[in-house]
Every structure is written in structure tokens, then in C-alpha cells.
Chain A
Amino acid sequence: AQKVTQAQTEISVVEKEDVTLDCVYETRDTTYYLFWYKQPPSGELVFLIRRNSFDEQNEISGRYSWNFQKSTSSFNFTITASQVVDSAVYFCALSERTGGFKTIFGAGTRLFVKA
């Protein structure tokens, strides 16, 4: 069965600190897709990144980076030099190729970045 665990409920950091948000997933499928979405205080859901299960190449995009490790079933997200505008709830999500349109979201991690 699918499962996504975001063990960190809330994280609080001071501006310019680096912060890593953890995501651990469970799936029986060999082909699956992982996503990160951001939900700022305004409430909308914004797509950040996706990875398929065959692409373990880590990615850096500006201050954001993602570390996908199949061996530990993890897809962690790091913000370098955090800013107040990074304050949001971050969701990790999993879709399986055989699962149709079924997507499982983690419970989310609320990040507070203090000035």
C-alpha cells in the first residue's frame, strides 16, 4: 500500500539557516512518482518538483535542492539560506504508475522562518 510519512510536523528556523524537510514513502510499485508541493499562508498549492523512480539524480534549483534515495525510500527537500517567504506548509506526495489517478500526500511540514 502507498504511504507517505513526513515526520516533522513543524520546524522553526531563523532566516539564513539551512533547513531540510524529510519525506519517507512506501510503495510496492517499481514505477512511481514523487512530488513536493508548497502551501504558503495564502492557501494555494504550488508545485515545486517531481521525480520518477528511475531518476535518482539529485537536483538543485536556486536555494532549493532535493535528495532522492531509493535505498532508504526518502525524498528530502533542503532550503539553503532560508527566507521569511519560505514560511509555508510543504507536502510530499506519491503516485504509482498502476494507481491511476490515486495520489497520496503526507501530512505536511509547517516551516516557520523568523526574521
Chain B
Amino acid sequence: EAQVTQNPRYLITVTGKKLTVTCSQNMNHEYMSWYRQDPGLGLRQIYYSMNVEVTDKGDVPEGYKVSRKEKRNFPLILESPSPNQTSLYFCASRASGSFNIQYFGAGTRLSVL
């Protein structure tokens, strides 16, 4: 079954404690992306990757890091989380070409206390 898998689904942490949210896709997609969803703001793109070892900033990259060492994985790293990073996070992937559909993971709800 084609899918994008995010882990964990729920996470509560404290300010400053490094964390990683994993994302994996089994569709051999070139493009992967991370979004955060906040009330009234929709989904905003954090980082995206066009292929292995190729990443770029989205609209809200501050406080986040990513890496793309393998085609299937695209982890999101918060080195020093802060309360304003409390949000719902989605990973997505799609085949190359802007017309292609994005497939989303189930989401990770993060609370930073």
C-alpha cells in the first residue's frame, strides 16, 4: 500500500529538548516536504527536498532542520524546541512535476511546554 508514514503521532516535550520526527514514503517519490498547520493559517511549508541531498527552505524554516540521506526518508529535526513550535506537522511526498498530487502522512501533533 502506498503511504507516507510519520512517527510519532503525538509528542509532548519541554523547551530545549532536541527531538526528531521521522517521515518515510514507499512510493519512490523524488519530492518530500514538511508542513506545519496552525489555526487560521492553513498549512505552511517548512522545508522541502527535491531529491537525495537536495533540500531548500520553505516559508517558515526557522528553528527546524532536515536531512535527506535516503530517498525514502526525510526527518524533521527540532534542535531546541520552543513553545511557538507547538503545532500539527505533516510530511508529504510526490513524484517530480508540480502537477503531481502530494500524499500526506497522518500528522504529528507536537506540544512544547
Contact = CB atoms under 8 A, between A and B. Distances in A.
Contacts of B61: none
A75 interface: no
Interface of B is mostly: strand
Contacts of B98: 32-33, 95-97, 99-101
Contact of A44 (B35, B94, B104): B104
Nearest to A46: B104
Contact of B42 (A33, A52, A91): A91
Interface string A21-46: 00000000000110100000001110
A103 interface: yes
B73 interface: no
Interface in B8-34: 31, 33
Contacts of B44: 105
B106 interface: yes
B43 interface: yes
A108 B106 contact: no
Given A45-B107, A100-B48, A107-B41, 12 more contacts: A35-B101, A43-B88, A44-B107, A47-B102, A95-B98, A100-B56, A100-B98, A101-B94, A104-B59, A105-B35, A105-B44, A106-B42
Interface of A: 4, 6, 9, 32-33, 35, 43-45, 47, 50, 52, 91, 93, 95-97, 99-108
The 9 closest A-B pairs by CB, nearest first: A45-B104, A105-B43, A107-B42, A101-B48, A105-B42, A95-B98, A101-B31, A47-B101, A33-B99
